Amino acid sequence: MEVNYPKVKQSIDKRVFVEFYQESKRYRLFNGKKLNIDIHPNTYPEARRVEIGYLLAAEVYHLLSKGVSLQLLKITKHLKPNMTDIEYLQIALNKKLQLNYSEKYKSMLRFSYRCLAKENTTPEITTKDIKKLLDKYSSGVSYNTIKRHLTALLNEAKSIGMLSDPMKDIKAKKTNAKLHKPYNNIGQILNEIKRFNPNLYLCCLMTYGCLLRPHREIRELTWSDFSDDLKYIRLSGNRNKSGRNRIVPVPTYIRDILVKGEPHHNIFSSKPQALNQDYFKTLWSRFKRQSNVLEQGQTLYSFRHSGAIEIFKRTGSITKLQKAMGHSSINVSLTYLRGLEIAELKEEDMPMV
């Protein structure tokens, strides 16, 4: 990473400081205390402060060139001699929680940390501790989820000084792909949902017709995300899983039931705040228990899968499907299609007798 040489400047009251940017953030240091540099320009007579400021700038540049991060130093000020691995892990968790991750991800990091802290009884976290924790999960999906979050925490802990590497020989479990069985009776199931709950009905309709993900992308929608004529939804990168800006067309059958509210109000709660993150999950569970037409394997995400199948059948274009689904690459869409069990062979392609 290129490092620019710090500038020496003076404030209105003649106090000298060095100014520099790191990771697009501006820093001003009036002394070297944060970097453990014993240089304090403003303790000198006014005539010598700039001169000492240049000495401070040189020392700061030397450390920045070696890759020292001030953001990391904010965390490492909590480091102390003879720390246990769990203490390193606690600092790593705190650092992760300060970053711009989703609340769901942060919640899983906290949960994984608590589980491991409860399991660990020695100063060092061992592979045996990790295996003992992971072996509690018979489901491959749960096993791999906890492993993934522990790996993120342990990698962070190692970056700030933890010496052990307990994840080294632990491999992920092979899991069977979960199939969200598509709907063949889309109209019938939507009518049943419409009678059950209007919010769930709108969510399912948009999952199918706009191919948005229900639990965050749809649940958090506000009226300002729509164009004035309601024909498009615009989502910034931090609002969807792909991390990229998306513009999604809104079909007429969805626009016909939308009643536009205040710009910054959520479309479901009619308030600035969105409904809780388990809202649609809970509604779907209740609907599933009383449904007469829902089949085994059909889920809330099955509406998104069913919509994807329709696009692929009509267009035959992986590229169009990729853009519609908001996938990061065509490879993701190809994997997705395999999960949808779209037949690659037609009857006329099969051997003849």
Confidence of residue 243 (pLDDT cuts 50, 70, 90): low
Q: How far apart are CA 63 and CA 61, in angstroms?
A: 5
Q: Is the pLDDT of residue 164 over 80?
A: yes
pLDDT tens profile 305-331: 888 888 887 777 777 777 777 776 676
Confidence of residue 227 (pLDDT cuts 50, 70, 90): very high
Say which CATH architecture domain 186-339 belongs to.
Orthogonal Bundle (1.10)
Among 211, 217, 266, which Cα is nearest to 237's? 217
Q: How far apart are CA 266 and CA 102, in angstroms?
A: 18
* Tokens of residue 19, six digits: 């100014």
290 alpha carbon, distance to own chain's centre? 33
Q: Are strands 246-249 and 16-22 parallel, antiparallel or unpaired?
A: unpaired
Helix, strand, coil shares of the chain, percent, nearest 5, are 50, 10, 40
Strand partners, 9: 17
Domain boundaries, the chain: 7-70, 85-159, 186-339
Q: What is the pTM of this model?
A: 0.57
Most confident of 103-107, 140-144, 255-259: 255-259
